[in-house]
Amino acid sequence: MSQRLKNIVKAGSLLALASIAFGLGAARADEIVIGASLPLSGPLAGFGSFQQWGYKRAVAEVNKAGGISIGGTKQMVKLIIRDDKTDPNAAASNTETLISRDHVVAMLGSCTPALVNAGALVAERAKKPLVTGCDPLEAFKSVRKWNYVWDLFFDEPELAAAQFKALAELGAQTNKKIAIWHDNGPDGQVVGGKIWPALAKDFGYEVVQNAEFPVDNTQFTSIIGEAKSKGAEVVLVDAITPQAIAIRKQMAAAGFTPKVLNIEKGAEPVQFAEALGKLSDGILVGGYWDSSLPYPGAADLSKAFESETKLTSSQHIADSYAAAQILLDAIASAGSTDPEKINAAIAKTDKTYAVGPVKFDENHTAKLPIVSLQWQGGKTVIIWPKAAKTGEFLFPLP
Amino acid sequence: MPDIGVALSTIVSGVLLGGMLALTALGLSIVLGVMRLVNLAHGDFVVVGAYVGLFFLKFTGVDPLLGLPVIALIVAALAIPLYRFLLAPLAERGPEAQMMTMFAVAIILENAFVLGFSADTRSIERDYATLPLTLGPVTVPLIYVIGFAIAVALILAVHWLISRTRFGRDLRASAADAQAAATLGIDVKRVQMLTFGLGAACAGVGGTLIGAAFQFGPSSGAAYLLNSLAIVVLGGLGNVLGTLFGGVTLGFLQSVGGLTLGDGYRDLVGMALFLLVLAFRPDGFLARRRS
C-alpha cells in the first residue's frame, strides 16, 4: 500500500471515529429529532416493547404523510430510542444523552413512576417538553409542580375504586375479607398502603392483611400462608409483572384460591398471561383502554399491532401512541422546533385520540377513564362498566 | 404471631427450596474449589438452564424433568467452549483475569437473552409446578418436593463422582495443588474443563427446576448468583455436601426471616448471615469435612 493510500485510510478512519464519537445521533438540519428512554430490557421490558411500537407508529404515520411543516418547510421526524434497562439512573442519563448528544427538541416518557419521573426531572431542568403515559397521575403530581412535562394516564384513586365498584355492581358474593399485597414503589405505597385500605372500609370490607414487599421480591410463601389462614376471599395485589407471575404461581402451589384476585400493574402486559397460561384466567386488572372503546382509531390500532407483530395487543400501545401524537401535533401546531413554543402548544391539547379524550389540567395531567378488565383465555375482556362490557364476569376465580 | 400451620408450611417450604438453591450453587462451588474461579456468569448459566428447559418442552413436548439429563448436557456443551477459548488461555494470568472474563460473559449472555428471547418474563408451565402437597397442617408446593429430591440425588451423585472415581481423584488432586497434580501426569486443563462443564450442567438442571417453580427473565441471573455465593460460603468452598447444608440452612433462615419480619426481608436475613459467616467462619460451617 502506498504511503498516500495509507494516509487516506488513516484520515478516513479518524473521520469515522470522530463521527461516531461526536455526531452519531446528531440532528440533520432538515429533520425534527425527538427521543425516548424506554425499558426495553429488565423487569419492565414487557411495557417497553408496547410503548416502542406506539411511539414508532405515530412517527411513521407523520413521516408517511410528508412530515411536519416547520417555517414553511416540511421536515421528517427522527425518533431516537434508548434502553433504560428498567433502571431509573439509566433513564436519567439516557434523557441527558438525548438532550446533549442527540439534540432532541422534545421527548416521550418511559414507564412507571420510577422511570418516567427520573427522566422527567432531567427534561424539566433542561426545559425540554416531555409527553408521557404510563405514569399514574398521583405519583406524577407528587414529584413537583411540572412546567415542561405532561402526563396522560389513569388516576390511582379512580383505578383503585374501580374494582370495588365493579364487584359491588356485578354482585360478587364474598365474605368481605380482603388481603392487600403491594410493593414498596411509589405507586404501590399509594394504592396498596393508603387508597385500598380506605376504600375497603367505605365498601364494607374488612382488611385482614396488608403486606408490603420490595419490588424485587420473589418469595411470597408466608404472605400467602397468612392470607389463606385468615380466610381472605378477595386479594388485591399491586406488583410488577415478574412478581405478579410469581405470586399467582405460588398461590396455586400453596393451594390458596380466593374468590377474587385483582393484580394491578403486573397483570397488564400479555406476557403475564403467556407465562401463566390458564392460571391467568379470572384475574382482574384495572384498565384505561381497550380496542372496543368508541375512540377514533382504537380498533385499527389494535389490529395493526397484532398484524405487524403477531402478538396480542396491550393497552400500553394506546397511551404511548397518543403521547407521541400529542407531541407531534404540538410541534405541527407550533410550526417550530423551539421547545417553549412546543410546550405552549402541548398545553392547548384538547382532542379525542385513540386512547380517549385528552385535555391537560393545571397539574399537566390528563385523566383517562377507567374500565375493569379480566383475563379470560389469554385475552382481556371488559367486565365493567356495563356500557363498555365486552365479556361476562368470570366468578369465582377458577 | 403467625398460625402454626402457616409457620410450619413456610419453614418446610424454605428448607425444600434451600435444597433446590443448593443445586444451583453446586456448580459454583466445584468450579471455585477446583479452578479457584468465582464464576460471575454462574447465575446466567442457571438462566440458560431455564431457557433450555422452556424450549426443550416447547419443541419436543417432553416434560423437562424427564429431559434433565439432555438439558444438563446441552448447558455443559454450551459452557465448555467458554472454558476452552476464553478461560484456558488466561490460566497463567491468575484468577482475576478469568473472573473478569466471566463477568463480561455474564453481561454478554444477559444481552444475548434479550436479543434472542426478548426481555419478557417467562415460566415453564407444568401442572405439577402449581400443585400443593398437604400433609396435616403443612402445605408445601409439590415442585419444591420434586426439586429437593432431584437436588439431593444430584448432589449425592456429584459427591460420589468426586470421592469415588478416577476423575474425582484427579479433580481433588487438581484442586489441592494443580502444579503437583500436573507433575504426576494429570491433565489439569482437561480436569478443569470437565469441572467447568459439570458446574454448568448442575446450573442447567437447577435452572430448569427454578424455571418451573418460579419465573425468570434475562436479568434473573444476578439474584441466583448472590444466593449461590451465600450458600457456597455457608457450606464451605468446594465442599459438595456442604453446599446442600448451606442451601438448607439458608432456606430455613430465610423462612424464619420471612415469618418474623415479612417476606420482603428474606434476602436481608440471607445476606446478613452470609456476611456473618464470612467474618467469623470464612471457610464455612463444614470446612473440616471437605469432599
Q: Are residues A36 and A105 in the same domain?
A: yes
What is the distance in angstroms between the Cα of B221 and the nearest Cα belonging to chain A? 11
Q: What is the mean pLDDT of chain B?
A: 90
Q: Please check whether residue A210 lies inside any domain of the structure.
A: yes
Pick from A65, A112, A97, A98: nearest CA to A268: A112
CB atoms within 10 A of CB A8: 12
Residue B165 touches chain A, beta carbons under 8 Å: no
Nearest CA in chain B to A226: B6
Hey, how many other C-beta atoms are within 10 angstroms of the C-beta on B142? Answer: 17
Same domain? For A234 and A376 the reply is yes
Rounded to a whole number of angstroms, the distance from the CA of A120 to the nearest CA of chain B is 24
Higher pLDDT, B115 or A152: A152
Q: Among A216, A218, A222, whose Cβ lies nearest the Cβ of B2? A: A222
pLDDT of A204 = 95
- Inter-axis angle of helices B188-213 and B166-176, nearest 10: 100
* Residue A55 confidence class, pLDDT cut points 50, 70, 90: very high
- Contact flag B131-A211 (C-beta cutoff 8 Å): no
Res. A13: pLDDT tops 80: no
The SS3 of residue A286 is strand
User: Does A126 lie in the same domain as A209?
Assistant: no
Asked, for residue A120, whether it belongs to a domain, the answer is yes
Question: Nearest residue of A to residue B218 by CA position?
Answer: A42
User: What H or E segment, with its residue span, contains residue A358?
Assistant: strand A356-359
Beta bridge partners of B122: B216
Domain tally, chain A? 2
Residue A276 and residue B9: Cβ atoms within 8 Å?
Answer: no
The β-bridge partners of B141 are B132
Q: Which of A226, A229, A253 sits opposite B131 (nearest CB)?
A: A253
In DSSP terms, A178 is beta-bridged to: A207, A234
Contact list in A for residue B144 (CB cut-off 8 A) is 253
CA–CA gap between residue A159 and residue A137 (Å, rounded): 11
pLDDT in tens, A368-389: 999 999 999 998 999 999 989 9
The H or E element that residue B134 is part of is strand B132-135
> Could you tell me which chain A residue has the CA closest to the CA of B124?
A275
Residues with pLDDT less than 50, chain B: 289-291
Cell numbers found for residue A63: 413521516
* CA A163 – CA A260 distance, rounded (Å): 10
Alpha carbons B194 and B174: distance in angstroms, whole number? 12
Chain B contacts of A271, Cβ < 8 Å?
Answer: 120-122
What are the boundaries of each domain within chain B?
A: 4-280
The pLDDT of residue A25 is above 70: no
Helix and strand element counts for chain A (H, E): 14, 16
- Evaluate whether residue A398 is within a structural domain: no
**Interface contact flag, A41 B119, Cβ < 8 Å:** yes
Same domain? For A380 and A245 the reply is yes
**Same-domain pairing of A94 and A205:** no
Residue A183 and residue A201 in one domain: yes
Question: Is residue B47 within 8 Å of residue B218, measured between CB atoms?
Answer: yes
For residue A278, give the CATH number of its domain.
3.40.50.2300
User: What is the average pLDDT score of chain A?
Assistant: 90
Residue-level pLDDT at A27: 54
Which residues are CB-contacts of A359 (< 8 A; sequence separation ≥ 6)?
Answer: A349, A350, A366
Contact with chain A for residue B131, Cβ under 8 A: yes
Q: Is residue B120 within 8 angstroms of chain A, CB to CB?
A: yes
Do A30 and A162 fall within a single domain? no
Interface test with A, best of B113, B117, B215, B252 (most A CBs within 10 A): B215
Is A342 found in the same domain as A263? no
Q: Is B65 exposed, middle or buried (CB count within 10 Å of its CB: 0-12, 13-18, 19+)? A: buried
Question: Is residue A17 pLDDT above 60, yes or no?
Answer: no
Is A15 domain-assigned?
A: no
Percent of chain A with pLDDT over 70: 93
Structural domain including A172 reads 157-287+372-388
Chain-centroid distance of CA A31 in Å reads 27
Q: Give the three-state DSSP class for A75.
A: strand
Among B20, B57, B121, the strongest candidate for a mutation testing the A interface, having the largest count of A CBs within 10 A, is B121
- With H, G, I as helix, E, B as strand and everything else as coil, classify residue A375: strand
Chain A touched by B221 (CB under 8 Å): no
A313 with A265, same domain?
A: no
Question: Looking at beta carbons, which residues of chain A come within 8 Å of B259?
Answer: 222
**Which chain A residues are Cβ-neighbours of B135 within 8 angstroms?**
none
Best of A222, A268, A276 to mutate (most B CBs within 10 Å, chain B)? A222
- Across the range A316-344, mean pLDDT stands at 97
Tell me the per-residue pLDDT of A228-279, one tens digit each, with 9 for 90 and over. Answer: 999 999 999 999 999 999 999 999 999 999 999 999 989 988 889 999 999 9
ipTM for the complex? 0.82
Q: What is the pTM of this model?
A: 0.80
For A376, phi then psi, to 5°, come to: -140, 115
In a domain, residue A393? The reply is: no
Distance of CA B179 to the CA centre of its chain: 28
Length of chain B: 291
Phi/psi-derived region of residue A127, left when phi > 0, alpha when psi is between -120 and 50, beta in every other case: left
pLDDT at B280: 84
Q: What percent of chain A has pLDDT over 90?
A: 76
Strand order in the sheet with A73-83: A68-70, A73-83, A31-38, A106-108, A130-132, A149-153, A365-367
Residue closest to B30 by CA, chosen among B147, B163, B148, B149: B163
Exposed/middle/buried for residue A197 (C-beta within 10 Å: 0-12, 13-18, 19+): middle
Residues A81 and A144 in one domain: yes
Q: Would you list the DSSP string of A152-219? A: EE--HHHHHHHHHHHHHHTT-----EEEEEEESSHHHIIIIIIIHHHHHHHTT-EEEEEEEE-TT---
Q: Which residue of A111, A183, A216, A219 is the best one to mutate when testing the B interface, meaning the one whose CB has the most B CBs within 10 A?
A: A219
Contact flag B6-A216 (C-beta cutoff 8 Å)? no
Q: Which fold has domain B4-280?
A: ABC transporter involved in vitamin B12 uptake, BtuC (1.10.3470)
Would you state the pLDDT for residue B287? 60
Residue from B12, B17, B125, B263 to probe the interface with A (highest A Cβ count within 10 Å): B263
Contact call for residues A381 and A374 (beta carbons, < 8 A): yes
User: A213-217, A300-304, B21-25, B60-64: lowest mean pLDDT where?
Assistant: A213-217
Q: What is the pLDDT of residues B228-266, one digit of tens each?
A: 999 998 888 778 999 999 999 999 988 988 888 888 888
Burial of A203 (0-12, 13-18, 19+ CB in 10 A): middle
Residues in Cβ contact with B232 at an 8 Å cutoff, skipping those fewer than 6 apart = B25, B28, B29, B32, B243, B246, B284
Say if A395 falls within a structural domain.
no
Query: Nine-digit cell at A110?
Result: 418511559
Radius of gyration of chain A (CA): 23
Residues of chain A positioned with their CB less than 8 A from the CB of B268 = none
| Partner residues linked to A374 by β-bridges | A284, A381
State the pLDDT at residue B278.
81
Question: Is there a single domain that holds both residue A117 and residue A206?
Answer: no
- Indicate the residue of A219, A246, A277 with minimum beta-carbon distance to B125: A277
- Residue A39 sits in the same domain as residue A134: yes
User: What residues of chain A lie within 8 A of the CB of B213, using their CB?
Assistant: 249, 253
- pLDDT one-digit tens code per residue, A180-204: 999 988 778 888 999 999 999 999 9
CB atoms A212 and B214 under 8 Å: no
Residue A16 confidence class, pLDDT cut points 50, 70, 90: very low
Q: Which residues of B touch A219 (CB under 8 A)?
A: 17, 254, 258, 263, 266
Mean pLDDT value of segment A364-370: 95
Is A379 within a domain? yes
Residue B239 Cα distances to A54, A230, B33, B146, B252, angstroms = 53, 43, 8, 23, 20
Predicted local distance difference test score (pLDDT) of residue B108: 94
* DSSP designation for A369: P
Q: What's the gap in Å between the CA of A41 and the closest CA on chain B?
A: 5
Question: What is the residue-wise DSSP string for B36-55?
Answer: ----TTHHHHHHHHHHHHHH
For the CA atoms of A311, A316, A319, A323, what is the dihedral angle to 10 degrees?
Answer: -80
Report the C-alpha gap between A115 and A233 in whole angstroms.
Answer: 34
Give the number of A-B residue pairs with CB atoms closer than 8 Å: 129
Cβ pair A106, A128 in contact under 8 A: yes
Confidence (pLDDT) at A22: 42
Give the phi and the psi of residue A181 in degrees, each rounded to 5: -120, 125
pLDDT at A117: 96
